[in-house]
Structure 1
């Protein structure tokens, strides 16, 4: 791979509902972006499959070194289900799923996985492993207010996370455990606010890490990291840019060796950081894929990663290690040249 192709493997770009299949062709061609995400309210398997097939056809020796794409969607259930309409089961909220039996949850997750695979999607950005304390849901804007949590205690949440990971993987779709180290104790939504996003409670070896550890133990291929702040873990940086959170805690304490993906780096929570620097800081901290809903930002991020790697041998080593993890994940899905997905 060229340096730019390596950088492109570390960026995921959003495709908005209703976009033409060619919507991200230019950013793939120019910046060598290697991963995509469906955003908004897509309305059928047919429309999603048309785009996913078109995107995969853009993988060639010049663009991605022939490596095909991680194609992701947020298919949690309830309020957060980006793919709907014919071919997609209308899913209950995570809170409702948390009341099901283990067998029921695994069957539902298997159904979700099969539907995603039929649409050409190979990554689900679920399950949510955040625990929202009892009685606080209405004041927890990102998770509790929408019933995105499986329960109010880590044991209940962990059991659901395990079942969803197991069901998705059984259907051939990668699961993403999110939003480490947890959004259940903050007030505001990091997508829309830079205030009210500090969790002053979560500490190292926190009991609320248990559902994430369960997901890792169940074989989750990805962990998504939040852009909230956790001063008892790192007083100087949000989680998504924190070596303590990503490397010491997630990779060290929890033993996660897979792909670390950011929450949306187009979020208000990180808007004060220059676009390219967001991706650089993620990878420097131990992360692997910078996710953004903005195609223009994706090119800026990939270019910044390539430029930093060219100027800094230590950072280049970080990039190469991250690319190795991404390619190992893609190998599991048959996305490398010569593999059949």
Structure 2
């Protein structure tokens, strides 16, 4: 199971400052000395046991529809060792269907595919027009601009609820909040952010405060978060998803619109997503996502970010269409990036191959790949994803019951006592009488998103699905 620790959560990316002199294959690069069981040592252990292909796979996040696992995404994980998934599009099927999907995804993280390292399962749950997961079990969220009018206390509390809904559906990483500042005078003419009211406000101070409240609330329930789109899309007049050569001629390295990102970094956000626009007053020769000046210079050095740098979509975005799929991945990592996001799973073979070939031929790039892999693994360890996992054997053993009790927040005894039964009945939405029977089984199966089978008590099929689901939770 994934033994999440709020203590570890604050230790994000001690290895990110390591100067890596090793190679991707063979002996893993050195990491700072740390006590056994820290994110750094867990990441090092995972790195050491992985093959080159499995290490490179950790640097990719592939899209699959939130309505079900695509064959292309399954192939990306099983054949190309991709270590992360984003649920895309829209699902109105509710939390049970997503729980079934995330449990299925977790089972794909086999020893052969990812060396047993769990996938980061992500989605875009910003609110308003950008809320991928909807239906029973998910609150309908307002736009960020509306959230920005709420009190900080109300927003933090609401975000905690929304984050808990994602965690209980098996999602590990929310690609939110948007920390771009769209000025009031031009917001309606800002296609990627202002037009859709994705900004928390029209000034950096409001975005910092209210975006920070959203971030704080969702982080409080152990959900990993992503601050985006660095260094900001609030001043552009076209959308990088649909237009090439999008430029920002306003933002500088000292602009006030950098402040929300600076605050998020200072408060330990584990992931920052890069913009694909060109910032003419910072680096006018290339998109920020490919710019060492922006990624390594501004974000890592000036702001001191030591976590995972993620790209915006490099699969379908018009802003990067001039480069081949493989070149996009190589340029991003070479600039200092870590996690290549591609919604389009068909780009994975070319991207993975390009990174592998460049790493084999270029020692400096090989070192960047190694450092990036360690940053991703350390972030996963800090979020609890590298702990011991449950065996999917269908047996309601003491270990499975202990995991269940940990998830329910009751005393861990390893025995299925009435307190545990009542807590589970409450969680799955049936009468909490402490007696586990047919009604409880039906409610649990519906909660897990599997077909009901009329079972009167525990059966191996349901326990196996419960074990798979608990693995995504703990």
TM over 0.5: yes
Measure how far apart 1:168 and its partner are.
1.1
Contact 1:33 1:299 in 2 (8 A): no
**Structure (1 or 2) with the larger CA radius of gyration:** 2
Query: Contact 2:72–2:346 at 8 Å: present in 1 too?
Result: no
Pairing 1:18–2:67 present? yes
1:237 counterpart residue number = 286
User: Which residue, 378, 381, 404 being the options, matches 1:328?
Assistant: 378
Provide the C-alpha distance between the structure 2 equivalents of 1:25 and 1:204, rounded to a whole number of angstroms: 41
Tell me, yes or no, if structure 1 residue 52 matches structure 2 residue 52: no
The answer to whether the Cα contact below 8 Å between 2:359 and 2:369 also exists between their aligned partners in 1 is yes
Counterpart position of 2:91: 42
Runs of 4+, deviation exceeding 4 Å: none
Q: Measure the CA separation in 2 of the matches of 1:87 and 1:122.
A: 16
Partner of residue 330 from structure 2, selected from 269, 277, 280: 280
User: Hey, what's the Cα distance between the residues in 1 that align with 2:178 and 2:229?
Assistant: 7
Matched, 1:200 2:249: yes
Per the normalisation by structure 2, the TM-score is 0.70
Q: Deviations over 1:116-161 (max 9, x none)?
A: 0111101000000000012111110000000000011100000012
**What residue is the counterpart of 1:311 in the other structure?**
361
Tell me the distance in 2 between the aligned counterparts of 1:333 and 1:38. 19
C-alpha distance in 2 between matches for 1:112 and 1:308: 41
Equivalent residue, structure 2, for 1:123: 173
Aligned partners of 1:11 and 1:175: how far apart in 2? 17
Q: Which residue of 1 aligns with 2:302?
A: 253
1:47-74 Cα offsets, whole Å, 9 max, x none, are 2111111111111221111110111010
Alignment of 1:145-156 (within 5 A): 145-156=195-206
When the two chains are superposed, the root-mean-square deviation of aligned CA atoms in Å is: 1.3
Deviation of the 1:295 alpha carbon:
0.8
Residues 181-214 of structure 1 show CA distances to partners (whole Å, capped at 9, x for unaligned) of 000000111101114x200111112211000011
CA distance in 2, matches of 1:20, 1:241: 30
5+ residue gaps, structure 2, are 1-49, 390-470
Alpha-carbon distance in structure 2 between the residues aligned to 1:236 and 1:60: 42
* Residue-by-residue CA offset, 1:201-238 (whole Å, 9 max, x unaligned): 11112211000011111211100001000011112110
TM-score by length of 1: 0.97
Is residue 7–residue 303 contact of structure 1 (8 Å, CA) maintained in 2? Answer: no
Question: Secondary structure in 2 aligned to 1:24?
Answer: helix
Deviation at 1:22, TM superposition (A): 5.7
1:227–1:52 distance in 2 versus 1, CA, 3 Å: same
Distance 2:72 2:332 in 1: 26
The answer for the alignment partner of 2:276 in structure 1 is: 227
Task: Indicate the residue corresponding to 2:240 in structure 1.
Answer: 190
Once residues 21 and 334 of structure 1 are traced to their aligned partners in structure 2, the CA distance between those partners, rounded to angstroms, is 27
Partner of residue 32 from structure 1, selected from 62, 74, 81? 81
Q: Which runs of 5+ in 1 are unaligned?
A: none
- Does 1:213 find its partner at 2:262? yes
